[in-house]
Structure formats: structure tokens, C-alpha cells
Structure 1
Amino acid sequence: MKALDKQVAVVLGASSGIGRAIALGLAKQGATLCLVGRKLETLQAVSAEAGPVQAHFLQADLALDRDVEGLADRILRDAGRVDILVHSAGVIRLSTVAATAADDLDTHHRVNFRAPFLVTQGLLPELRSRQGQVLFVNSSAGLAARASLAQYAASKHALKAFADSLREEVNPDGVRVVSLFLGRTASPMQAAVHAMEGRTYRPELLMQPEDVAAVATHALTLPRRIEVTDISIRPQLKSY
């Protein structure tokens, strides 16, 4: 019997990169998948790669209110239950404070903080009843900001605050809350960041999505008498 047999893992941002790798890692541990992303065909490809596991697919753009509203209900209707909730969707655009457009600021807030908040809120009764787990894929920018990252770092600091507050509220009900604070990881998003910085993208020098998935899966399969709260991960070679 595998560690996550008969459990349903919901992964937001499952189409590519870190979310895809975490979904595949959880499937290897026996979890049924509920994959959420913007393109159904991409989610179906991830499911096919996961092998003979049951999977559900939900198309949603987390930047759009009409897609976020009711998403928790859609997840429960399609998946039937939720034992693990993984928030790995995100957006990043580099910009100085002076040059940041209000629309970009709002997009960061909606995708990186507001959507995880509302989806988690909608699933709280289910997570409490299952003594479930919530994993937030955060960033090193959620711990320390730097130039040209104000809008992104602010949204990730908000996500950390949400996770910390949520943990105190739901721990007494047996729910675990884990935050991963990642350094640079080879992914389509990181390739875009390098392009914005005008730098050569060398993914072989960065962490790989599978590295993050290994840490995430380990944290979610630890004995229930313990909880890992915050995990910071960096590439061993600080090439950046």
C-alpha cells in the first residue's frame, strides 16, 4: 500500500513546471489527482504521464474572478473529496515601483494571493473533516524582497501571512499547513524571468521541478504526529 492511497490531491497550477512535478510525485504515492490549470489538454497530458491513476481536470484562470468564484465547489463536485490541497500557480513580472502598472499589481494579487485564499476558504470544511493538508509553493521573495520585485514579493509575503494564520486556525482540527520557499527553479516561469533580466537561461544550474516535488511529497507523507511548517530550498550552486 502506498502512502497516499485513497487520498485525493488537488493541485492548482498543475499544467507545467513545479505544479506538474508535484502532481506526478503525489501520483507515485498513490493519490488520485484533481488537476487545475488554464488548458485542459495540458492537464490531460500530465495525467497521461502520471500513469494508471484516477484524475479529474478543471479548467480555470486564477486571474479571473469568474473562474475563481465557485472553484472550490467545482473541485468538490468533480473530485468528491479533498485530502491534499497544493497551491503552485503563480505569476511574476519584474518592474520597478515607479514603473509598475496598477493592472499588473492587481494580477499579482489575484493569482498569487487572492485565489489561494478563496479556494482554501471554500474547501476548509472539507479539509477539516478529512484532517487534510495544505501546501503553499511560495518563493524566497516571500521572505525577503529586492529591487524590481515589489509587486511579486508583496503578493508572496501576503501568501506567507495567510499560511501562517491559517496554520494556527486549523492545526487544532488536525490539518497540516506547509510552505515551501523556493530559490530559482528550472521552469517556464524562470525562463521568462531570465529573459526579463536579459540573462542567459541555464536551467542545469538551477533546482529542478522534480527536486521540489521530492521535498513536497516527503513533507506530505511524514507521520501525522509532526508538521513541517516552513521549508527554504536553494540551488546548491548559487549561480544567480
Structure 2
Amino acid sequence: MTLITGATGGIGAALARELAGTHSLLLQGRDGARLSTLCAEVGGAPLLLDLTRPDTFEAALSGLGRVTNVVQNAGVVELGAVAEQPHEVWTHTLAVNVVAPAALTRLLLPRVRAERGTLVFVNSGAGLRANAGWASYAASKFALKALADALREEETPHGVRVTSVYPGRTATPMQQKVRAQEGGSYDPAAFVDPATVAATVRFVLDAPRDATLPDVTVRPGPR
């Protein structure tokens, strides 16, 4: 089984569609109606979970069977200068983008180890470079990179592969929100198609066992 967090979002939904029919899917979301609609479309099972409540994770995951792959895709973003953003924004961003993936990973590791599976962390270009106005989001993504890097070294002896994927700007509702916060226009054609990122993640998951891809960057191609 492959678990995708943030499955009802742009990249998550594209990945669910990309893997449908070849992977047994467990799809996490917090909107029950949207999650049910997606599960009906791709044949996955729903996991209704609020990622800001790690205290609820263990109970929610207790009935799961085999889990081979985990794609930590869920994320939030709120732009703003360090001088302006209140602690609530930082707390929420770090909770969803870092604490939740760490907590879910810890709980799922025994299952993934048993399957010699793969953990994919959908990061961002902001996890490699922090620009003005992006401090809270970039800090969370730098931390997510640190989580993945440490986990890779820890889990290699257990046969678990760990990959960070760094998409550039992708044509998703999140990007539409970002462009509005930046005061710019949103043209999906100017950004990476979420299906392209999904195909990249699938390549990582399906790579032969004698290969591991620690870091994969996806950028818009020439137009």
C-alpha cells in the first residue's frame, strides 16, 4: 500500500491518479467530501486525518495493514516578512510541514521497514533557498530536508529508501494563492504541471531496488 498525505491537493491528487491501478492507495485528507470523491475516482481508501493533531495519529493508523511507501506531500504556505508574521503562522506552518511528517514517519516505519519500502518527502525549491517573504515556509522546508537526510542515514541499514523531491513552482491551488499574495498574475502554463511532478514521484517509487535517488529537483522546462 502507498500512503499519500495531502491527497486532495494539486500534486497529491495528481499522484493518486498517476498511481491508480498499479498501487494500492491510502489517501489522507481533512475534507471528507473531497476525499470521498477522489477515492471513488481512483479506487483508494480514505484516511481522514487532521495533520495539526499528531496526538490522534496512532489511533488513526492502528488498523492499517501493510504499508510499503509513504509520500509526505501535504503542506501549507503563508508568505510574509519576518517582521510581520505572528507566531501563530510559524507554529501552524511548522506543525503541518515538519512535525506531522516526522510523527507519521515514526509511526509507520515498522511497516515500511518490513516491506523494504520507500519514503518520499515532497519538499520545494524553498527547501534549498530562502527568499525575502518566505522565511516561515522556507524554514519548514529546510527542516523537512534535514528530517529526510537524517532518516536516510538511519534507515539505510533497514533497507528503506528515502527521497526528497524539490518541485519548482507548480500549477496548483497553492501556487494560485502564492501568486495572489505576491500581487502577481497566475498563469498555469508558466508553471510545472502537477502531473509532471506526480510522474517524477512515481519514477522514484518504482525505481529498481539497486538504485536510490536521495534528491530529485523538478523545474519548469523550456517553453
Alpha-carbon offset, residue 203 of structure 1: 0.5
> In 1, are the aligned partners of 2:68 and 2:115 still within 8 Å (CA)?
yes
> What secondary structure, in the 3-state scheme, does the structure 2 residue paired with 1:169 have?
helix
> In 2, are the aligned partners of 1:34 and 1:75 still within 8 Å (CA)?
no
Alpha-carbon offset, residue 59 of structure 1: 1.4
**Aligned length, in residue pairs:** 223
Distance in 1 between residues matched to 2:57 and 2:45, nearest whole Å: 13
Alpha-carbon offset, residue 231 of structure 1: 0.5
Query: Structure 1: any 5+ residue segments left out of the alignment?
Result: 1-7
Give the one of 29, 33, 51 matched to 1:62: 51
TM-score, normalised relative to structure 1: 0.89
Matching residue of 2:40: 48
Matching residue of 1:93: 78
| Deviation string, structure 1 residues 156-177 (Cα, Å, up to 9, x no partner) | 0000000000000101111011
Distance in 1 between residues matched to 2:57 and 2:66, nearest whole Å: 14
In angstroms, what is the RMSD of aligned CA positions? 1.3
Alpha-carbon offset, residue 73 of structure 1: 4.5
Structure 1 pair 132–215 and aligned structure 2 pair: CA distance change class (3 A):
same
> In 1, are the aligned partners of 2:112 and 2:160 still within 8 Å (CA)?
yes
Equivalent runs, 1:139-218 vs 2, <5 Å: 139-218=124-203
| Deviation string, structure 1 residues 186-225 (Cα, Å, up to 9, x no partner) | 0010000000011110001110110000110011101001
Distance in 2 between residues matched to 1:95 and 1:129, nearest whole Å: 42
> In 2, are the aligned partners of 1:36 and 1:59 still within 8 Å (CA)?
yes
Equivalent runs, 1:105-144 vs 2, <5 Å: 105-144=90-129
Distance in 2 between residues matched to 1:34 and 1:194, nearest whole Å: 31
The list of structure 1 runs, each at least 4 consecutive aligned residues, that deviate by more than 3 angstroms after superposition, is none
Percent of aligned pairs with the same residue?
42
TM-score, normalised relative to structure 2: 0.96
Distance in 2 between residues matched to 1:69 and 1:133, nearest whole Å: 24
Alpha-carbon offset, residue 152 of structure 1: 0.4
Distance in 1 between residues matched to 2:186 and 2:198, nearest whole Å: 21
Matching residue of 1:25: 18
Alpha-carbon offset, residue 18 of structure 1: 0.3
Residue 16 (structure 2) pairs with residue 39 (structure 1):
no
Distance in 1 between residues matched to 2:14 and 2:112, nearest whole Å: 23
Matching residue of 1:3: none
Query: Structure 2: any 5+ residue segments left out of the alignment?
Result: none
Matched AA of 2:8: S
> In 1, are the aligned partners of 2:148 and 2:162 still within 8 Å (CA)?
yes
> In 1, are the aligned partners of 2:49 and 2:60 still within 8 Å (CA)?
no
Distance in 2 between residues matched to 1:233 and 1:111, nearest whole Å: 22
Matched AA of 1:205: A
> What secondary structure, in the 3-state scheme, does the structure 2 residue paired with 1:136 have?
strand
